[in-house]
Amino acid sequence: MRNRGAVRTAVAAAACGVLLMTLSACGGSGGGDGTGHKDEAGSGGSRHEGRPAVDLKRIPDVGDRLQSQIPKSARQVVAVYGDGKDSGDSTVVLYSKSGDTWDKTRSWPAHNGKKGWTADHHEGDKRSPIGVFTLTDAGGVLADPGAKLPYTQAASFQAPHYWAESHWHDFDYVIAIDYNRVKGTAPNDPTRPEGQTKGGSIWLHMDHGSGTSACVSLSKSGMEYLLRTIDPKRHPVVVMGDKVSLES
């Protein structure tokens, strides 16, 4: 544990009693065929033939509206490129800024909400929220793999075993996306400042092979890499949405 470790452990333990509510927007027991994964080399750049060369002073394929919401202080961006408005398939790309240039660090095939994306997320809609959100806290069932973000290890992250077995390890590692949550708390803290109906517990977490209830999921190795790389000193954010919404 790092600073706030004792407080975060207590919060995680307190959250255990409301685990089902906390996890209801993240993961879920629904299935999917798990298809639609893409090759890493095909993600993150200017991926449409005939387009001009990528401007590396910007996050590729993100239009002015969302680009302007990325804080000037941000030096790490996790971009989630959804395949389509109603698709559960996506690609995660990590960009790191060196000087004035954004460099593509690594990419992974991923999943998002099984029904796709929305600009007005609500509890239970099975769609991931579109937007730019900070990344401040991490945790999971497993021990800290060397995360730079404050990390809370707690059994209360464990997915219920009445869910499909393929989902049991979803929350071995998680990074909280700061949508309707209190920054500086464990990812499974149930507090939702905008109210329960706006949903919450939107996380980056481990993939089970198909769409989620609202989160973004990727491989265990991908999560380990992000945890060891995303650095609060670099003011990381996630920009996420379907391709059309990102480019608008």
129-156 residues labelled b (16+ CB within 10 A) or e (exposed)? bbbbbbbbbbbbbbebbebbbbbbbbeb
Q: What is the pLDDT of residues 13-68, one digit of tens each?
A: 334 333 444 444 463 333 333 333 333 333 333 333 344 445 588 999 999 999 99
Q: Which run of H or of E encompasses 132?
A: strand 131-140
More reliable by pLDDT, 20 or 79: 79
Helices (H) and strands (E) in the chain, counts: 5, 11
| pTM beyond 0.85, yes or no | no
Q: How many CB atoms lie within 10 A of CB 229?
A: 18
Q: Which pLDDT value is given to residue 54?
A: 53
Domain that holds residue 110: 64-247
Q: Is 48 contained in some domain?
A: no
Which of 13-22, 94-103, 132-141, 183-192 shows the lowest mean pLDDT across its residues?
Answer: 13-22
Query: How, if at all, do strands 76-82 and 131-140 pair?
Result: unpaired
Q: Is 19 contained in some domain?
A: no
Give the chain's domain count: 1
Q: Is 44 contained in some domain?
A: no
Q: What is the pLDDT of residues 109-168, one digit of tens each?
A: 999 999 999 999 999 999 999 999 999 999 999 999 999 999 999 999 999 999 999 999
Q: Which pLDDT value is given to residue 56?
A: 85
Q: Is 199 contained in some domain?
A: yes
Q: 27: Cβ–Cβ under 8 A, 6 or more apart, which residues?
A: 159, 163, 167, 170, 171, 205, 208, 212, 213, 215, 217
Q: Is 34 contained in some domain?
A: no
Q: Which pLDDT value is given to residue 55?
A: 57
pLDDT surpassing 60 at residue 11:
no
Q: Which pLDDT value is given to residue 28?
A: 38
Q: Which pLDDT value is given to residue 8?
A: 52
Q: What is the pLDDT of residues 206-247, one digit of tens each?
A: 999 999 999 999 999 999 999 999 999 999 999 999 999 999
Of 117, 185, 189, give the one whose Cα is nearest residue 157: 189
- From residue 136, alpha-carbon distances to 6, 160, 167, 202, 226 in Å are 17, 25, 24, 13, 12
Q: Is 126 contained in some domain?
A: yes
Q: Is 117 contained in some domain?
A: yes
Q: Is 21 contained in some domain?
A: no
